[in-house]
Structure 1
Amino acid sequence: MRSSTLLAVLAWLPAAALAQTPPAAPLTALTVEKIMRDPAQWIGNSPSNIGWSEDGKRIYFLWNPEKARRDSLYSTAASGGAIRKVSVAEQRSLPTTAGDYDPKYTRKVYEKDGDIFLLDLKTTKARRVTRTTERESDPAFALQGQLISYTRGGNLFTWDPATGETVQRTDFRRGSRPGNGQPTDKAEKFLRAQQLALFDVIRQRDQDQKARQRLQKALARLNPKAIWLGQQTVQNLQLSPDGRFVTYRLAQEPAAEKIAVVPSFVTASGFTEDLSTRTKVGAPQTAYELGIYDIGRDTTFVLGYKELEGLDQQPAYRKEYALPAKAPAADATDKAAPPRKDKPATELRRVEPYGPYWSENGQRAFLVIRSSDNKDRWIVSLDPTTQKISLLDRQRDEAWINGPGIGYGPGNVGWLPDNQRIWFQSEESGYSHLYTVDVTNGQKKALTSGNFEVQKAQLSRDKKLWYLTANKTHPGEQHFYRMPVDGGPLTQITSMPGASEVTLSPDEKTLAVRYSYTNKPWELYVMPNKPGAKARQITNSLTEEFKSYPWRDPEIITIKARDGADVYARLYRPAKAEAQGPAVIFVHGAGYLQNAHKWWSQYSREYMFHNLLVDKGYTVLDIDYRGSAGYGRAVRTGIYRYMGGKDLTDQVDGAKLLAEKYGVSPQRIGIYGGSYGGFITLMAMFTQPDVFKAGAALRSVTDWAHYNHGYTDNILNSPYNDSIAYARSSPIYYAEGLKGALLMCHGMVDTNVHFQDIVRLSQRLIELHKENWELAVYPVEDHGFVEPASWTDEYKRILKLFETNLRPGATNASGSSSGGN
């Protein structure tokens, strides 16, 4: 194409983009093209990132009613009223939502644009603490609120608001401590002594040098001790409340490991560009230590953990790989038979420390410590003077530690106002609940209990109440509660069915509520902090086109699994179901995620696709299989060492229920899902070929040995330690079982589940001479698709797959004969 022609085309594009779009007609019939459009353009954009002004007079949130390319900041009065867009000038003057408050909530210190600010909450005036080209971060109040601490360049500084004095508290340096110039070799020591004895000038100069060194050492006492890090990096610098200690975490990165590379073919440069992504499961991980700098003694220590209870306890699965108690005798002629050990040597597991967390009076501290295999979490008290730790609580899980308020880090922890009890969340009972432990006597108490999860917990500012979010009324609902600080009955505040995400006003009298229901996307509401109070809707985000369609409210049902467990699911049924009609089972992604609930799904496109399928006569089942969130520890860890086990049989049991109770033909059931859902779809098509006639596997893991460490190692352990778990959990080993029609879709620049995964499986299917499969690739898509064209192409293929294979004798494989696609 000549340049003049290209310029003409480019000149035309803006005019076309600015062309007026006529108002959308009511949505009377769903098609793939309609539902896969940019959601912000045709559904509306829900408010997010809800926050309050520090004086509690305004609510701020991200929103996009203008259908722009990105969200903007909006605000409304706490009492309601007009919503206005926040100007750039006003945004610059606003403090960040993150920061640290002093104990009386009169001041807040925060970072903004790499500088530190101190905000007076009464006057709402901010005072700049730093203005440098370097970035300052991690601001906090120190010395009982007398000082402000922050980090810069990997070191800790404090600033005194009264005097304006800034003091550097640490001097961390990369590399090794340089020598003092003195010889260490015996021969060199002899020569040096000889020189000093023979020559007066050498002896005098040596005495002068030693005098200078003594003076420099005396002057250096006024500055912090130089702490040499070697190749380690320093994190989480904290000054103890009495100013005596600086604690810090040391991180040692592993030696360079091979990084998986994802090639990007469609680029602005016209050349293939490589994206460096991550290592694979089993690669060495970062090692951590807790350092303590005793300022008064000018000495550093690294905390030890050898006495930590259970540190040498090996996971139960290792017994499957242990040598027999007595090895068979070697043949007498076999002189090279290696010695056998009846028992492997005891090894201490590596740990990762978090904290310390200091009591408000500054007299006590505790740490959260997690084992590197994630099977133990310890809460210990810490005495920095003696570097001693004492066990307060140990949670052991032969699968892996996780759950609401726990996660993979320190979890939700803190001190109660008596400066004597620590609070934390634990799955000790099988569900995540709130606990306290007394550091003086070790007495532990459960503040909440029952077959539900506490998903969020925070203390009121006066420390007299708990505010909790929990699914107490139903696993698929989330409500906001309050409870006395020492435990007691939960008082439910919110009442609208679905989910309420609550942000408390600073005076805790008003709730900003982000609320949604199954068929109603998230909107912002405001209500008094009183049980049964009426919530007032603030935003109206939905377009008239979206509201014109009667989006279904699916039934929440339970499936009795083969092992007796109750498995929750969403069920979509046609108004006039066809006898022995078709059905589709959807498998949500992420594994640990909940989708059979009563609020707007993060799988909104899939939800709309399910409505389209029901319009076409399909029954749709969406299962919260084993491994899903919201149902406690037993469900969360139900996939340990066997992904494709109970999580797959839950799908099979769901298919059985469809046939037995809902009139579905057992020969006309399809399955689909993305990411983890794609993995389950592959396992279903390969190992249950007589149950599922067609399947669409999207962005699927095909071999867990090629996925990342953080997710996979917890569930399947490391591949070189637990090869059994990987072999039985990876679809690539079962590909020979494929009978039905399989569609695979994958983004070529997927930096999460690499495109290599699906290429390896494709080669396996080719070598097995399988013909009933196809692979659709998307050159510009990562793991989560972005472009509407990609979504449309993918779901047209999925619909075609089901229409072709679940409707014998269909006149048009694309499905246009039954309403278009």
Structure 2
Amino acid sequence: MRVLAAALLATLAAAPVFAAQPPVDMETIMADPDWIGPAVEDPYWSVDGSQVFYSLKQDGTPVRDLWRVQANGGTPERLDAAAAARADGGKPVFDRAHRHAAFVRHGDIFLRDLASGATVQVTRTAAKERDPRFSLDGRLLTFRADNDWFAYAVAGGPVSKAADLETKDDPSDRKADDLADGQQALFKTLRGLRADEDAMKADADALAAADPGRAPRPFWLGKNVSIVDTSLSPDGRWMLVVTEAKDADKGKIADLTHYVTDSGYAESEATRSYVGRKDPTPQSLRLLDLQTHASFDLDTATLPGIGDDPLADIRAKTVAALRKEGKGDRADALAAPKTRPVIVNGEYSPGIVWSDDGRQVAVQLRAIDNKDRWIATVDFDRHALVSQHRLTDKAWINWDGNDFGWLRDGRTLWYLSEESGFAQLYVRAPGSKAKALTSGRFEVDHPVLSPDGSRFYVRTNKVAPYSYDIYSVPAQGGTLARVTTFEGLDDFALSPDGTRLAVLHSSPYVPSQLATVGVDGSAVRELTDTRKPAYKACEWIAPKIVQVPSTHGAGTIWAKFYGPADAATAASRPAVIFVHGAGYLQNVHLSYPAYFREQMFHNMLVQRGYVVLDMDYRASKGYGRDWRTAIYRQMGHPELDDLLDGKAWLVANHGVDPKRVGIYGGSYGGFMTLMALLRAPGEFAAGAALRPVTDWTSYNHEYTSNILNDPQLDPDAYKASSPIQYAEALADPLLIEHGLIDDNVLASDSIRLYQRFIELHKKNFWMSLYPMERHGFVHADSWYDEYRRIDELFRERLEPANRN
């Protein structure tokens, strides 16, 4: 059946071979991608497992329609508003006995009896309820709206608030006060009034404790805190509350200006602070016992290594330099804390995960210096955190690959960790030694536990770094077995009964499509093909995945090569090197790329006699920890070595003229274009830097401090890594393009570098600004203008007939 899956995928992705028919023109490939056809998004199973729902973007609008298709095949059906209102909601959850299911539909909670099919609407509110979950015995359904949690008795309501959280001081707490005490001593009437208040409160507390039907008593968290997150145990007994200081310094916020507006006036917009100008606000954990109405602070100072200073050497060097310069106040501000502040690591992972029975909870914490990640459990008797796993990294802990949870036994943790050098899956019973379920020089992500708890299903690139598929592994350990053979596996969802997978897969010129497949790899069903006829009729160049040898000890640099069939024998070709964005992103794979327009542009270049190389330089995703962290404190250095190796490989193997190689990219790719031209002048005939970071001191904290630390603490890393520091070296033609309302990499980055070039009396540099574009362009006119200019630059500088 795996052969069948491969054959079906090959049929779906037909005609990826360069033919005599020319690619479509610039106007077409930079048009709104509606002409291609939408990718399938957000698939989920119906409660009974007979159907799969998914979303498709409407032509001409950002609106997504809900679609439905039979899991065994059939004609997909778009649901109108009435049908969508009756459809099963996304990602249903089930009780352990599989008697009931719950799901979210249009922001409300619904409960279904699986035997009768009867469905009850549990909530009808303007709030967006989410995260439904059953207690282990199936009697209680809990869910949340923002940071408030609610409970619903499955046998028949009502909905009740699990806890009343107040960010105020307890009004009944009487602070010690000499004047007030004196008043009480003097006046009998005041003593009587206070006694009456105390009696009323005691009576209310006793009634609330004895009567579960009453609204919960408030938990007074204090007026100086803000609630960041909350998490309720499935049985409704315990709650964890994550807080931070309410008055925490938010840092100075940078503004941008909208010049083209409905009002006709220029309008400003607040964006974000700069790196080092507002460190993450430390967070605290509080455990609430909802049964006894008690509150306990959970001390993070007990975490192993929390008192270490991983930056001690850098700190000492910087402090010494500041004191030598007479800047003692700045040096004092860099003193290491006795215990490092932490945050709950909940942005790219759940942050807090309960066992099904509610008797165990795991919290993932991260040091705000980015060097440590802990998974800790809570000892409910001692009201204390107990560390179960510490992952430490001299560079930085990855923001990706932090999934964790509990096995069905309610005692054994599972988690992803990079400790071996590659993201792998581990299990560990609290207090015992961890066991690796997967191992090797490949990456594992998206672990999903089967409904019976016996197996994990994961996505991995075990066969090759660029090839992703689903594998399964027993939860107690065993063989990692391949399930699918799509090679371009984007995402998947396990059916309610655990027997089938709804799979999103794609190929270089086919956006994500939906298929179902048995968990043993059998019964493959292709369910969608959303491509438009005009796009399907086009013939494209299949990118060839190649291995570029590193001359800098890095091993293999994987890349996509675009060229005609005779590329190996031709001589004196121009070439372009494309540099992907994000830094930590993988673009050398067999799936549909995020850079689908650029891929079509590369087809156009090949048609004109170019070859194109698209490299997963160091820092790219998919190649392990060492590849990821090679850029620590030196962004733009190892990556440039890799790009120059790519150029040398093109010259040696594909007849490329070394004096006619261009380079371009956006975001991190724009940054690298600048580093290539400014740190290796003369190597590239021209470069186009799109929305580039030019000075890392003005980028955001969350991304930059991971790699370069804080600029106050590690100024050398910022100086070495910022293109603006190398501006004097500009010698080659440079085009800069930037959206003026970019709220990620601010346009001021490009404008500041432009001013630097002016002051240095540089030549052959240009800038194109786009008044209505943010970081990712969305308007076809802007896309067209942007790439028209890039194309003109390469025509003028790389093609012999146009060169001076």
Whether the TM-score (by the shorter chain) exceeds 0.5 is: yes
Provide the residue aligned with 1:558 in structure 2: 547
Deviates more, 1:366-375 or 1:262-271: 366-375
**One of 284, 294, 308 as aligned partner of 1:299:** 294
Q: Evaluate the alpha carbon distance shift between residue 190 and residue 626 of structure 1 in structure 2; reply closer, same or farther with a 3 A threshold.
A: same
Shift of 1:208: 4.6
Deviates more, 1:344-353 or 1:747-756: 344-353
CA distance in 2, matches of 1:563, 1:405: 28
Matched, 1:495 2:495: no
Q: Kindly provide the CA deviation profile for residues 367-426 of structure 1, in whole angstroms up to 9, marking residues without a partner as x.
A: 2221112211112221122122222211101111126532xxxxx211123333211110
Mapping 1:229-268, distance limit 5 Å: 229-240=222-233, 243-253=236-246, 254-268=248-262
* Secondary structure of residue in 2 paired with 1:702: coil
Q: Kindly provide the CA deviation profile for residues 699-738 of structure 1, in whole angstroms up to 9, marking residues without a partner as x.
A: 1111111111111111111111111111110101101111
CA distance in 1, matches of 2:590, 2:551: 26
**One of 430, 434, 439 as aligned partner of 1:444:** 434
Amino acid at match of 1:148: L
Q: Evaluate the alpha carbon distance shift between residue 133 and residue 772 of structure 1 in structure 2; reply closer, same or farther with a 3 A threshold.
A: closer
Q: What TM-score comes out, normalization by structure 1 length? A: 0.87
**One of 502, 511, 517 as aligned partner of 2:507:** 517
Matched, 1:413 2:404: yes
Deviates more, 1:576-585 or 1:782-791: 576-585
Q: Evaluate the alpha carbon distance shift between residue 161 and residue 382 of structure 1 in structure 2; reply closer, same or farther with a 3 A threshold.
A: same
* Secondary structure of residue in 1 paired with 2:284: strand
Whether the 8 Å CA contact 2:102–2:112 is kept in 1: the answer is: yes
Shift of 1:352: 1.8
Identity rate, percent: 38
Shift of 1:148: 2.4
Q: What TM-score comes out, normalization by structure 2 length? A: 0.89
CA distance in 2, matches of 1:736, 1:284: 32
Shift of 1:321: 3.9
Provide the residue aligned with 1:217 in structure 2: 202
CA distance in 2, matches of 1:30, 1:715: 41
CA distance in 2, matches of 1:542, 1:94: 25
Shift of 1:235: 4.4
Amino acid at match of 1:117: F
Whether the 8 Å CA contact 1:148–1:159 is kept in 2: the answer is: yes
Q: Evaluate the alpha carbon distance shift between residue 453 and residue 640 of structure 1 in structure 2; reply closer, same or farther with a 3 A threshold.
A: same
Q: Evaluate the alpha carbon distance shift between residue 118 and residue 236 of structure 1 in structure 2; reply closer, same or farther with a 3 A threshold.
A: farther
Amino acid at match of 1:585: I
Amino acid at match of 2:343: E
* Secondary structure of residue in 2 paired with 1:526: strand
Provide the residue aligned with 2:123 in structure 1: 130
CA distance in 2, matches of 1:180, 1:378: 35
Matched, 1:28 2:22: yes
Whether the 8 Å CA contact 1:65–1:541 is kept in 2: the answer is: no
* Secondary structure of residue in 2 paired with 1:380: strand
Provide the residue aligned with 2:538 in structure 1: 549
Shift of 1:137: 4.4
CA distance in 1, matches of 2:642, 2:660: 18
Provide the residue aligned with 2:381 in structure 1: 385
Q: Evaluate the alpha carbon distance shift between residue 639 and residue 272 of structure 1 in structure 2; reply closer, same or farther with a 3 A threshold.
A: same
Shift of 1:452: 0.7
**One of 687, 692, 709 as aligned partner of 2:679:** 687
CA distance in 2, matches of 1:149, 1:183: 40
* Secondary structure of residue in 2 paired with 1:627: coil
CA distance in 1, matches of 2:445, 2:173: 56
Provide the residue aligned with 2:784 in structure 1: 792
Matched, 1:725 2:717: yes
- Unpaired runs of 5+ in structure 2? 1-19, 209-215, 346-350
CA distance in 1, matches of 2:770, 2:108: 42
Q: Evaluate the alpha carbon distance shift between residue 630 and residue 227 of structure 1 in structure 2; reply closer, same or farther with a 3 A threshold.
A: same
Provide the residue aligned with 1:105 in structure 2: 98
Whether the 8 Å CA contact 1:580–1:663 is kept in 2: the answer is: yes
Deviates more, 1:51-60 or 1:145-154: 145-154
Deviates more, 1:222-231 or 1:770-779: 222-231
Shift of 1:299: 2.7
CA distance in 2, matches of 1:775, 1:582: 24
Provide the residue aligned with 1:477 in structure 2: 467
Whether the 8 Å CA contact 1:51–1:59 is kept in 2: the answer is: yes
Shift of 1:581: 1.5
Shift of 1:659: 1.3
Provide the residue aligned with 1:636 in structure 2: 628
Q: Kindly provide the CA deviation profile for residues 134-171 of structure 1, in whole angstroms up to 9, marking residues without a partner as x.
A: 55444333474322233457544322233524444422
Q: Evaluate the alpha carbon distance shift between residue 118 and residue 692 of structure 1 in structure 2; reply closer, same or farther with a 3 A threshold.
A: same
Q: Evaluate the alpha carbon distance shift between residue 445 and residue 766 of structure 1 in structure 2; reply closer, same or farther with a 3 A threshold.
A: same
Shift of 1:244: 4.1
CA distance in 2, matches of 1:153, 1:382: 23
Provide the residue aligned with 1:808 in structure 2: 800
Amino acid at match of 2:771: P
Shift of 1:242: 5.6
Deviates more, 1:670-679 or 1:467-476: 467-476
* Secondary structure of residue in 1 paired with 2:141: strand
* Secondary structure of residue in 2 paired with 1:472: strand
Provide the residue aligned with 2:356 in structure 1: 360
Amino acid at match of 1:553: A
Shift of 1:612: 0.5
Amino acid at match of 1:429: S
Whether the 8 Å CA contact 2:23–2:539 is kept in 1: the answer is: no
Q: Evaluate the alpha carbon distance shift between residue 224 and residue 641 of structure 1 in structure 2; reply closer, same or farther with a 3 A threshold.
A: same
Shift of 1:206: 3.2
- Unpaired runs of 5+ in structure 1? 1-25, 197-202, 407-411, 814-821
* Secondary structure of residue in 1 paired with 2:784: helix
Provide the residue aligned with 1:118 in structure 2: 111
Mapping 1:618-657, distance limit 5 Å: 618-657=610-649
CA distance in 2, matches of 1:561, 1:86: 52
Shift of 1:539: 2.1
Q: Larger Cα Rg: Structure 1 or Structure 2?
A: 1
Shift of 1:88: 0.9
Mapping 1:79-90, distance limit 5 Å: 79-90=72-83
Provide the residue aligned with 1:322 in structure 2: 316
Matched, 1:431 2:427: no
* Secondary structure of residue in 2 paired with 1:684: helix
Whether the 8 Å CA contact 1:140–1:150 is kept in 2: the answer is: yes
Whether the 8 Å CA contact 2:362–2:405 is kept in 1: the answer is: no
CA distance in 1, matches of 2:190, 2:624: 74
Mapping 1:260-299, distance limit 5 Å: 260-282=254-276, 283-299=278-294
Shift of 1:190: 4.3
Amino acid at match of 1:173: E
Shift of 1:133: 4.9
Provide the residue aligned with 1:409 in structure 2: none
Provide the residue aligned with 2:573 in structure 1: 581
Shift of 1:287: 2.4
Amino acid at match of 1:438: A
* Secondary structure of residue in 2 paired with 1:348: coil
* Secondary structure of residue in 1 paired with 2:441: coil
Whether the 8 Å CA contact 1:144–1:241 is kept in 2: the answer is: no
**One of 726, 733, 753 as aligned partner of 1:734:** 726
Whether the 8 Å CA contact 1:455–1:470 is kept in 2: the answer is: yes
CA distance in 2, matches of 1:181, 1:394: 42
Whether the 8 Å CA contact 1:55–1:124 is kept in 2: the answer is: no
* Secondary structure of residue in 2 paired with 1:90: helix
Q: Evaluate the alpha carbon distance shift between residue 804 and residue 133 of structure 1 in structure 2; reply closer, same or farther with a 3 A threshold.
A: closer
User: How many residues get paired?
Assistant: 764
Deviates more, 1:699-708 or 1:295-304: 295-304
Shift of 1:556: 0.9
Shift of 1:294: 2.8
CA distance in 2, matches of 1:636, 1:386: 39
Amino acid at match of 1:276: A
Shift of 1:648: 1.4
Amino acid at match of 1:365: V
